[in-house]
């Protein structure tokens, strides 16, 4: 990575860079929020909806499918009536979330610094 091994810009064409292939998925608008929730414990569809109130059920479904497809979460259907579905983070998902949560924590911690940098930049721009 750092030495240009995995996704060397000069070697890969963008469309099949393995790092991008993975990153693009978790870079979606809702992925990290869902992962954050399921990192704690399994949740049902309606529970997740309540936890991420601004998400549409369309995007919740789609994001869950994408995360499931990439192997980060499992979907288990209980054939009750009415049906109930539980989503649970897989081992792969947890192993991803370990480093990912560090970045999220960094973002939370350094948000003030970033906001300050933006203010400084915008200030110097209004020439």
Partner DNA sequence: CAGCATCCCGAGGGATACTG
Partner DNA sequence: CAGTATCCCTCGGGATGCTG
CB of 106 to DNA, least distance (A): 21
Q: Which of 83, 71, 72, 84 is nearest to 38 (CA)?
A: 72
Under rule CB under 8 A, which residues in 69-98 are in contact with a copy of itself? Answer: 69-71, 92, 95-96
CB of 71 to DNA, least distance (A): 17
Paired strand residues for 84: 78
Q: Which residue number, 81 or 124, has a Cβ lying nearer to a copy of itself?
A: 124
Under rule CB under 8 A, which residues in 6-25 are in contact with a copy of itself? Answer: 6-7, 9-10, 13-14, 18-19, 21-24
11 Cβ neighbours under 8 A, 6+ residues apart: 4
Specify the length of the chain in residues: 127
- Supply 82's token pair: 């009415």
CB of 73 to DNA, least distance (A): 11
- Radius of gyration of the chain from its Cα atoms, rounded to whole angstroms: 18
Binding site residues, DNA, CB under 7 A: 28-30, 44-47, 54-59, 61, 64-65, 75, 82-85
């Amino acid at each position: 990575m750092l030495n240009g091994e995995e996704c060397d810009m000069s070697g890969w064409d963008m469309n099949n860079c393995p790092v991008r292939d993975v990153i693009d998925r978790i870079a979606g608008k809702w992925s990290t929020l869902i992962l954050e929730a399921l990192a704690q414990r399994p949740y049902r569809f309606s529970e997740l909806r309540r936890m991420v109130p601004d998400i549409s059920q369309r995007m919740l479904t789609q994001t869950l499918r994408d995360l499931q497809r990439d192997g980060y979460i499992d979907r288990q259907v209980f054939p009750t009536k009415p049906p109930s579905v539980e989503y649970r983070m897989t081992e792969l998902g947890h192993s991803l979330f370990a480093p990912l949560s560090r970045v999220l924590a960094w973002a939370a911690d350094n948000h003030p610094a970033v906001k300050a940098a933006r203010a400084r930049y915008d200030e110097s721009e209004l020439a």
